Amino acid sequence: MRARMRQFFYAEEGNPTILHLESSMRNSLKFLSILALTVGFAGAVAVAQPPEHRDEHREEHPGPRAPEAHPGPQGYQRLHEPEGWNNRPHDFDRGAYQHNFQAARSYHIGPYHRPAGWRDHHWVFGEVLPRAYWAPEYLIADYWLFALEVPPGGYEWVRDGADAMLINTGDGTILQVEYGVFG
């Protein structure tokens, strides 16, 4: 069949010009085949390797480090009180405190359990908080941790749900409310 095709395309069998063209075409086909295989292989290698990113402003890391031991929590460790945390003013302007504020920030400190038999109530300054809410578990001793003001003498911060209230410890009158302190 090859011979017939050659005869079809070339009128003169054995012509040196035609033989040179056949040889040249074979060499070109071999070269193109090798070139295609080389480009395909180089492309596969380039895809298999991650690209190198060089950032002149970043330091080179020598490699992965062994993980460091973490001591973990050591239980509750009370923070030191800020200076003047318990300098409670005895002479103060009640009008300066009588406000209902929305807290600028909310803190998540754990669940809240209302005194038994009491339901949710939206407290405001001037109301009287029942004695059940003054129990030690409702007092906020570390008030500075929650961005609450230093209470005047005879007043304490107590928690009711998400709110903090500044109350008179003698009769339970609410002097100030911060809504949403505890999220």
pLDDT of residue 54: 54
**Residue 18 to residues 4, 41, 55, 69, Cα–Cα distance (Å):** 15, 35, 58, 80
pLDDT of residue 22: 55
pLDDT of residue 94: 80
pLDDT of residue 87: 73
pLDDT of residue 149: 86
Six-digit token pair at 178?
Answer: 């911060």
Answer yes or no: pTM beyond 0.75. Answer: no
Tell me which CATH code domain 94-179 carries.
3.10.450.160
pLDDT of residue 19: 43
pLDDT of residue 104: 87
**pLDDT averaged per 10 residues, the chain (length 183):** 47 49 60 63 54 56 56 56 70 81 88 90 94 91 88 93 95 94 90
DSSP string computed for the chain: -HHHHHHHH-SSTT-HHHHHHHHHHHHHHHHHHHHHHHHHHHHHHHHHSPPP---TTSPPP-SPPPPPP-----S--PPPPPTTTT---SS--HHHH-EEEE-SS-B------PPTT-------TTSB--GGGGSGGGB-TTGGGGTPPPPPTTEEEEEETTEEEEEETTT-BEEEEEETSB-
